[in-house]
Amino acid sequence: MVRASTAANAEYAGMFVSAGNGIVFSYRTATGAATTAVTGNDYGLYWVKLVRSGSTYSGYYSTNGTTWTQLGSTVTITAIPTSATAGMAVSGDTAGDLCTATFANVTSN
């Protein structure tokens, strides 16, 4: 996930794997705007990749870490600064739900 800030309503883009929604490319293009989520409705173990090129973001998934498929289309988010906040995100999908995640083979360029 890449965010403009740590504020709850900040602009962001992220790729996720969700027990309830499968693979998800999710983003918010303006502060306080609604979140858009593009779901792949595919469930299981996946590699996910978020690609940033200037102010455009694309989400990808893979079953083997080598061959990548784009989920949805590229989105432009101009409000995320060059020095954005980035990291691994975990959510229980529902307010108040707790979850645990294990991350492996993490890289950043």
Domain map of the chain by residue range? Answer: 2-86
Give pLDDT, residue 103: 82
pTM for this predicted structure: 0.86
Q: How far apart are the first and last CA of the chain?
A: 14
- Residue 49 has phi, psi (to 5 degrees) of -140, 135
Confidence at 89, pLDDT banded by 50, 70, 90: confident
Indicate whether 3 pLDDT > 90: yes
What is the mean predicted confidence (pLDDT) over 20-47? Answer: 89
Instruction: Note the pLDDT tens digit of each residue in 39-85.
Output: 987 777 889 999 999 999 999 999 999 999 999 999 999 999 888 88
Q: In what order do the strands lie in the sheet with 69-76?
A: 47-53, 56-62, 69-76
User: H/E element holding 62?
Assistant: strand 56-62
- Residue 21 pLDDT class (50, 70, 90 cuts): confident
Distance CA 107, CA 49 (A): 10
- Torsion sign over Cα 5, 56, 59, 48: negative
